[in-house]
Amino acid sequence: MKYRYLGNSGLKVTEIIYGNWLTHGSQVENDAATACVRAALDAGITSFDTADVYANTVAEEVLGEALKGERRESLEILTKVYWPVGPKGANDVGLSRKHIMEGINGSLKRLQTDYVDVYQAHRYDVETPLEETMVAFADVVRQGKAHYIGVSEWRAEQIREAARYAKELRIPLVSSQPQYNMLWRVIEDEVIPASQEAGLSQIVWSPVAQGVLTGKYLPGQGAPEGSRATDTKGGQRMIERWMRDDLLAAVQNLKPIAHEMDLTMAQLAVAWVLQNENVAAAIVGASRPEQVEENVKASGVKLPDDVLARIDEALDGFIERDPAKTEAPAQRP
């Protein structure tokens, strides 16, 4: 497993980060989730990403329990704050000082740790002044509850403004966590240049497009039993935009490319996002330990330029590049 620096900081994370968004506490049982975390550790993954909203806080609890007994200094734990948690009261959402302070305390308790390595704003809050948000994050850092700060699905102009505050407050804003894969490239034209200017790296989620880029979904056929497309707890909704026969047929054109590279299609997809110099890591999830073992083999893979060109050709007509589609909410939920 290889490491990369996160932004312009001295913090290193594994190229493959284990994430528990749609699995822990909802899609798979706790024993299976723990087995996946153990598989990640055995494969050399030391970086783990979660959020308070995942399974309405249960995912953090499961991860904390699974990592109990590990040397804390040898791990990089990332979590997030923004979305509604708990009873979803008026102040149980957003990036107000109140929600951030209560959010970090709740996350630390559930994760069974005194600090997280990166505390991330899960979305941009249009209803709270950015200055209030950044001052609250600065206090979290100064209290020793987080070492670094990150954002998720923020637009380029929002990243630039946050970086200005971070510089004034002298706190390390180091990462952006957007969706990014062969089919979804909306960060390339604006978010990545803004991040490079500000000294942030990307930690990307959904590198296999919720499983579509693994090739297991075939045109004209129903989704395999137990797959993300049959998960009514959230996965089905996320993947439905790509469940089109013409797109699924185009994805099948990646099979010979993966075969020639001696990679599975999942490994090819994860390796593809890691070719971008501004990407520090790809987040992968799993419902079975074997999936972790497969995905980690993408670390360190170099894809030649001609292979990258063939991938673009195979998916031509299905690649989304519009930066306006960055998933920043126009209002709070």
- DSSP-assigned letters across all residues of 104-136: HHHHHHHHTSS-EEEEEESS--TTS-HHHHHHH
Global pTM value: 0.93
320 phi/psi in degrees, rounded to 5 = -95, 125
Q: What is the mean pLDDT of residues 91-96?
A: 96
**Encoded tokens for 325:** 């589609």
Query: Is the distance from CB of 80 to CB of 121 less than 8 angstroms?
Result: yes
- pLDDT on residue 73: 98
Q: How many CB atoms lie within 10 A of CB 239?
A: 22
Q: Percentage of the chain surpassing pLDDT 70?
A: 93
Domain boundaries, the chain: 3-325
Cα angle vertex 115, ends 110, 121, to 5°? 80
Cα 175 to Cα 7: distance, rounded to the nearest angstrom: 6
Residues near 129 by beta carbon (within 8 Å), at least 6 away in sequence: none
pLDDT band at 189 (very low <50, low <70, confident <90, very high): very high
Lowest mean pLDDT among 192-196, 213-217, 218-222, 290-294: 218-222
Cα 120 to Cα 117: distance, rounded to the nearest angstrom: 10
> Beta 3-5 vs 12-14: how paired, if at all?
antiparallel
Cα 319 to Cα 185: distance, rounded to the nearest angstrom: 7
The string of pLDDT tens digits covering residues 6-20 is 999 999 999 999 998
Query: Is the distance from CB of 30 to CB of 58 less than 8 angstroms?
Result: no
- pLDDT on residue 328: 77
Q: Please report which helix (H) or strand (E) contains residue 182, including its range.
A: none
58 by DSSP, 3-state: which? helix
Q: What is the mean pLDDT of residues 91-120?
A: 98
Average pLDDT, whole number, for the chain? 93
85 phi/psi in degrees, rounded to 5 = -135, 170
**Encoded tokens for 100:** 């951030």
**In the predicted model, is pLDDT for residue 214 greater than 80?**
yes
**Encoded tokens for 197:** 């200017």
118 phi/psi in degrees, rounded to 5 = -135, 125
Residues linked to residue 17 through DSSP beta bridges, in sequence order: 283
- Classify domain 3-325 at the CATH topology level: TIM Barrel (3.20.20)
The CA–CA distances, whole Å, from 152 to 31, 68, 121, 292 equal 29, 27, 6, 23
- pLDDT on residue 113: 98
Residues linked to residue 159 through DSSP beta bridges, in sequence order: none
The string of pLDDT tens digits covering residues 306-325 is 999 999 999 999 999 999 99
The string of pLDDT tens digits covering residues 36-70 is 999 999 999 999 999 999 988 999 999 999 999 99
Q: Which residue has the tokens 């290193």?
A: 12
Q: What distance, in Å, lies between the first and last C-alpha atoms of the chain? A: 38
Give the residue numbers marked as catalytic. Answer: 54
- pLDDT on residue 226: 54
> 74: exposed, middle or buried (C-beta count within 10 Å: 0-12, 13-18, 19+)?
exposed
Where do the H-state alpha helices sit in 217-281? 235-239, 245-252, 255-260, 265-273
**In the predicted model, is pLDDT for residue 127 greater than 90?**
yes
Cα 45 to Cα 48: distance, rounded to the nearest angstrom: 8
